[in-house]
Structure 1
């Protein structure tokens, strides 16, 4: 039920968001003049953001119910099948991530933006029926999903019956008390004085308890979200795999990804839209290759080692991004703002002293606003942005290998009744790190400061590897087999067991024997 409801809500909200975009684009001039200070246009922009957020929440709910719950029931206890299924589903996601921007971009470029919004709205309204039928088909074909639904309903019915049975028992007790009170009426009159005082005390206690319950209910309603978050966090941290989840969350605190931030930086470095589209397609291809390679790597070296390999490969690839910060053509300059402030102060002082501002401004354009490192290097060099995009593309392989590894660990370790809670907490951690990333960009928005964001992102990826290594060490007892790299020198001594036949007792003698080499 949750999968189907979230699917319908997601498609409806996406279609509604596209319709609002169409209205904004088509009636743009009318909305600008409808209210003062473009109030109507601002309202529609805010409405687009709110509806898009709600659609994203519905998408997360669908992903949790299908990709984190259904897939475990479908695969059963077959870990290899689970790895294959998760990798195939991620490959489908990455393939659609390639096709959808290409299709929409062609419509925007050759026709118009408003018609692209109409296409998106129509596609979601049509595809919701196809997706709903496919989900229903999977539900009918897999008996484990039906049994799970019946189990959930049975638990609910048992809980309701428990409360009703308790109510029946309480009613029977009250009836028996009334009968006993009617039969013992004379004794009741004689003990009326004694019981009256006791009843008054009980009434006072009951009133106090009711007031406490009312206060507790009010507090619970006020802080319900924080209480649920705290309980979910406690449930999350009781699993050893939580450290692997923290490592996965650290990977979201990075600007080294094909998102709006990286696209804007690439445009600022002179990369055209067509070339950047090719680069994004290449990154998706590397990600798809990682999803196809993941089941084979996992089957050969094990699940925990696969995560170490994926994160290690990602860190190795991101080293090229770090090198791009200091390569020729990089705009990295942490003193950029102070240079601008110094230039503005000099111009103000020159105006006060009556000095020609044109001469000073022309000199400052070269000596102040331009970083000193750019004077000796070629201003049209693409070495820096080439290293950055090359490392970013190749890192997609290790990123998706590590993501699939940690996802399968959660699917195998988490109890069935707690999958939704754990998946929700993990998504919240990922979104929190993603929000911190945008906050970091707000604090350092200029291209000259983007290198600092790259270095911070690299540190967080390394921190994610440390969290995952902590989990791997707790499970395996080691990270690497150093004993195989340093063989024991005492292997030349062979232990020989001899038996004393006369006494019937076994004696173990360590007899060194010479080994002959050929």
Structure 2
């Protein structure tokens, strides 16, 4: 007995993760992201061809998509938090793929009946609305999958594993996304340039038909093969029941206290009634999700990351449509976006090295300011008279800035994974995506106001100002946490060395 008592308790370490299951996870994620990236790249080109010489349709689509995510993102996070992993997986894959099938098929109809706008404007608007709605549903479903895989499964799978596993998995997941961002636009651009837009829309539809069953098979193998996932799903379900009972109990007690009053404590009970109204308001799912988000220590980095979504400097639909209007071929835009993604993939290799050397916080600081410096090239392109040179400077500056952008993205995500409690991860992740979509919404709203491609420089300047604000906010967060931005003694030693060398 004494031997058992005196024996040191070693931390339990999970067995090594089966490499085959991790490959299944990564391939399933790849299939999902490839379809989303195909649609994301194509939709701007579809819209500028349906309504030439105007960014209105491209901006309107982006407005609908980002508004739906901004409004419903927190609810999607709560929904993911309240259902079992298997149920979320089923609804996510089915709704995402069906939505993109409908969107692709509707675009085919728009392209085949190119004179619909002039012959039957009501039917034209109805079809455009259907494209917008189906695209928005597809992106909301993609958000649910992102929360499930990136904010839940990756964290659960890495628990109990050696240090660095979470960082490595985050980097691989982001690398897959960027690989899709590289490959999907290049292939889609070549199909558009050398076959037709219609062929591109048909390819998108067929991809989602084929991918949905394979995705489900792969991800269910991961769920069944890693016991930690089923255990976590069970714990999440059991966690919800006591909470619901407590809320019901507290509500019942409040109702009793409101009934039992006399003339002397009338004013007190009236105050209680007012407090009850406020409390009920804060229990509204959307409101409670935002309150939970704002309480987090990482709210400032989250807002800084979201500000980077208020931008046209991203090879998104507005920038793609503008480049198309300037006469840049679709395959060139696709290649430029591919180069941008390659630089982003390089960020996923560099991030673990920097993170292990200078910490997650300081990696984020270095990253956001390096992005800012690269975007100075985009600002300089505004004053270049040659349109072709200006377009290539714009694409080059955006592509180079991806190194800092994606390292900053990884840094903020890992801070949220490390500092947000397990019970709040899905909700906080949903609100974070909602904030990002709200800023994305503002980008497309400005695109509708400034819809003339000749005025794209105004959107470029506004985007650069917002990136500057994001860098300043994150720097303030670093100063608040560490009480300094740089190690003063190291800077002083560097200056001394330079003086002595000279």
TM-score (norm 1): 0.68
Cα gap change, 1:42 to 1:309, in 2 (>3 Å) = same
Find the counterpart in structure 2 of residue 308 from structure 1.
365
Distance 2:211 2:452 in 1: 41
Paired residues of 2:188 and 2:334 also in contact (CA < 8 A)? no
Q: Write the distance in 1 (CA, Å) between the matches of 2:216 and 2:319.
A: 35
Match among 160, 167, 186 for residue 102 of structure 1: 186
Of the three residues 371, 375, 389, the one matched with 1:318 is 375
Tell me, in whole angstroms, the C-alpha distance in 2 between the residues paired with 1:111 and 1:487: 61
CA offsets 1:70-127 (integer angstroms, 9 cap, x no match): 1100111655211111111111111112222333344444444444333322221221
Residue 31 of structure 1 and its aligned partner are, at CA, apart by 9.0
Match of 1:410 in 2: 416
Match of residue 317 from structure 2: 260
Match of 1:390 in 2: 396
Which sections of structure 2, spanning at least 5 residues, go unmatched? 1-86, 251-258, 495-502
Which structure would you say has the larger Rg? 1
- Equivalent-residue separation in structure 1 for 2:247 and 2:310 (angstroms): 47
Deviations 1:288-311 (A, max 9, x none): 111121111111111111101111
Q: Between 229-238 and 277-286, report the one with greater CA deviation.
A: 229-238
Structure 1: segments with no counterpart, 5+ residues: 167-197, 330-379, 489-518
How many residues end up aligned between the 2 structures? 394
Q: Report the Cα distance in structure 2 between the residues aligned to 1:268 and 1:19, rounded to whole angstroms.
A: 25
Provide closer, same or farther for how the CA distance between residues 440 and 143 of structure 1 changes in structure 2, counting only shifts above 3 A.
Answer: same
- How far off is 1:40 after superposition? 1.8
Contact persistence 2:364–2:407 (CA under 8 A): yes
| RMSD, aligned CA | 3.5
Following the alignment from structure 1 to structure 2, what is the Cα–Cα distance between the partners of residues 58 and 159? 27
> Which moves more between the two structures, 414-423 or 69-78?
69-78
Query: Could you tell me which residue of structure 2 aligns to residue 482 of structure 1?
Result: 488
Q: Note if contact 2:94-2:212 (Cα within 8 Å) is conserved in structure 1.
A: yes
Equivalents in 1 of 2:445, 2:485: separation in Å?
35
User: 2 CA distance for matches of 1:164 and 1:479?
Assistant: 48
Matched ranges for 1:97-496 at <5 A: 97-156=181-240, 227-326=284-383, 328-329=384-385, 380=386, 382-486=388-492
Alpha carbons of structure 1 residues 29 and 14: separation in structure 2 relative to 1, 3 Å: same
Give the distance between the partners of 1:251 and 1:124, measured in 2 at CA.
Answer: 29
Q: What is the alpha-carbon distance in structure 1 between the residues aligned to residue 310 and residue 482 of structure 2?
A: 28
- Give the aligned partner of residue 101 of structure 2: 15
Q: Which has the larger displacement, 151-160 or 275-284? A: 151-160
What is the distance in 1 between the residues matched to 2:170 and 2:459? 32
**Residue pair 1:3, 1:66 contacting (<8 A) in 2 also:** no
Q: Is the 8 A contact 2:189 2:331 kept in 1?
A: no
Distance 1:423 1:140 in 2: 24
Quick one: higher RCO (CA 8 Å, sep 6+), 1 or 2? 2
Q: SS state of the match for residue 480, structure 1?
A: coil
Structure 1 position 322, deviation (Å)? 1.8
1:124-144 CA distances to partner (integer Å, 9 max, x unpaired)?
A: 122111111111111112221
Q: For residues 9 and 436 of structure 1, what CA distance do their matches in structure 2 show?
A: 26
SS at match of 2:296: coil
Q: TM-score, normalising length from structure 2?
A: 0.70
Q: 2:146, 2:248 → 1: CA distance?
A: 36
The whole-number CA distance in structure 1 between the counterparts of 2:474 and 2:397 is: 22
Match of 2:174 in 1: 90
* Residues 109-118 or 234-243, more deviating: 109-118
Give CA-to-partner distance per residue, 1:23-48, whole Å, 9 cap, x none. 44445668975xxx432222122111
2-side partners of 1:381 and 1:52: how far apart?
A: 32
Aligned partner of residue 486 in structure 1, secondary structure? helix
